[in-house]
C-alpha cells in the first residue's frame, strides 16, 4: 500500500490523504482527487449526453468483447432474447442481457441475465465448482 501522506488536489486545492486519489492519478504530476474527477466526468457526460448514450454501448461492446452492436443483436435474436442459462427475458426497464465471455480467451460465449452472469463469475467459470454446488443442492433436496 502507498505511504499515507497529504497531497494538494490541483482542482479543489484541498490537502487530502493519498486515499482520496486514484492509484493511476498518483503516478501523474497533476493530482486530482477522486471527488473532482467524478464531478468533471459527470459535467462532461451531461454536456455530451447524446454522444455518451449513442457511442457508449457501441464502444463498450467493441472494446470489451470485440463485437459490434449488430453482432450483439444477432446473438440476442439467436437466443430468442433470453438468457442462455435460465431462459429469462429481461423485464421492461431492466438492463439488457450481459455478454458472457471466456476470461482466458476473451471469446464471447453468449448473453446472460445479471444473476446468471454473476453466478458464473462467482464460481470463477470453474465447471468443477459448479458441479460441486449442484451436488450440494441435490444432497440438500434429498434430505428434505
> Domain check: are 65 and 130 in the same one?
yes
Cα(35)–Cα(20) distance, integer angstroms: 8
Is there a single domain that holds both residue 10 and residue 32?
A: yes
Q: Is there a single domain that holds both residue 14 and residue 59? A: no
Kindly state the DSSP code that residue 29 receives in the 8-state scheme.
S
pLDDT of residue 84: 95
53 and 22 housed in the same domain: no
- Is residue 21 located within the same domain as residue 37? yes
Query: Can you give the pLDDT at residue 25?
Result: 65
Q: Are residues 120 and 134 in the same domain?
A: yes
Report percent pLDDT > 70 for the chain. Answer: 88
pLDDT over 90 at 19, yes or no: no
Residues 39 and 84 in one domain: no
More confident residue, 72 or 52: 72
User: Residue 83: inside a domain, yes or no?
Assistant: yes
Read off the pLDDT band of 142 (50, 70, 90): confident
Residue 1: inside a domain, yes or no? no
Q: Are residues 55 and 22 in the same domain?
A: no
Could you count the other beta carbons within 10 Å of the beta carbon of residue 19? Answer: 11
Cell representation of residue 69: 452492436
C-alpha–C-alpha distance, residues 42 and 128, integer Å? 43
User: Is position 60 within any domain?
Assistant: yes
Residue 13 burial (10 A CB sphere; 0-12, 13-18, 19+): exposed
CA–CA separation, 20 vs 65, rounded Å? 31
- Joined together, the cell numbers standing for residue 94 give 431492466
Q: Please, which pLDDT band fits residue 93 given cuts at 50, 70 and 90?
A: confident
- The answer to whether 32 and 19 are in contact (CB under 8 A) is no
The answer, yes or no, to whether residue 17 has pLDDT greater than 80, is: yes
Task: Residue 68: give its domain's CATH number.
Answer: 3.40.1800.10
Q: Give the pLDDT confidence score for residue 135 in this predicted structure.
A: 93
Report, as an integer, the average pLDDT of 56-63.
79
- Indicate whether 80 pLDDT > 90: yes
For residue 77, what are the domain limits? Answer: 49-143
Q: How many domains does the chain have?
A: 2
Residues 121 and 71 in one domain: yes
Specify whether 36 is located in the same domain as 60: no
Residue 80 maps to a domain:
yes
Question: What span, in angstroms and rounded, lies between the C-alpha atoms of 57 and 55?
Answer: 6
Q: Are residues 59 and 42 in the same domain?
A: no
102 has a pLDDT exceeding 70:
yes
In this predicted structure, the answer to whether residue 1 has a pLDDT above a threshold of 70 is: no
Whether residues 86 and 132 share a domain: the answer is yes
Amino acid at each position: 500500500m502507498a505511504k499515507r501522506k497529504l497531497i494538494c488536489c490541483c482542482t479543489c486545492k484541498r490537502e487530502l490523504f493519498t486515499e482520496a486519489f486514484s492509484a493511476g492519478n498518483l503516478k501523474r504530476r497533476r493530482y486530482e482527487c477522486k471527488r473532482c474527477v467524478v464531478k468533471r466526468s459527470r459535467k462532461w457526460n451531461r454536456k455530451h449526453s447524446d454522444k455518451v448514450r449513442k457511442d457508449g454501448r457501441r464502444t463498450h461492446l467493441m472494446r470489451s468483447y470485440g463485437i459490434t452492436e449488430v453482432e450483439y443483436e444477432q446473438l440476442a435474436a439467436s437466443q430468442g432474447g433470453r438468457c442462455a442459462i435460465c431462459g429469462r427475458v429481461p423485464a421492461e426497464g431492466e438492463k439488457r442481457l450481459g455478454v458472457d465471455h471466456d476470461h482466458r480467451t476473451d471469446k464471447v460465449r453468449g448473453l446472460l441475465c445479471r444473476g446468471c452472469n454473476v453466478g458464473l463469475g462467482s464460481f470463477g467459470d470453474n465447471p468443477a465448482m459448479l458441479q460441486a454446488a449442484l451436488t450440494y443442492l441435490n444432497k440438500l433436496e434429498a434430505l428434505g
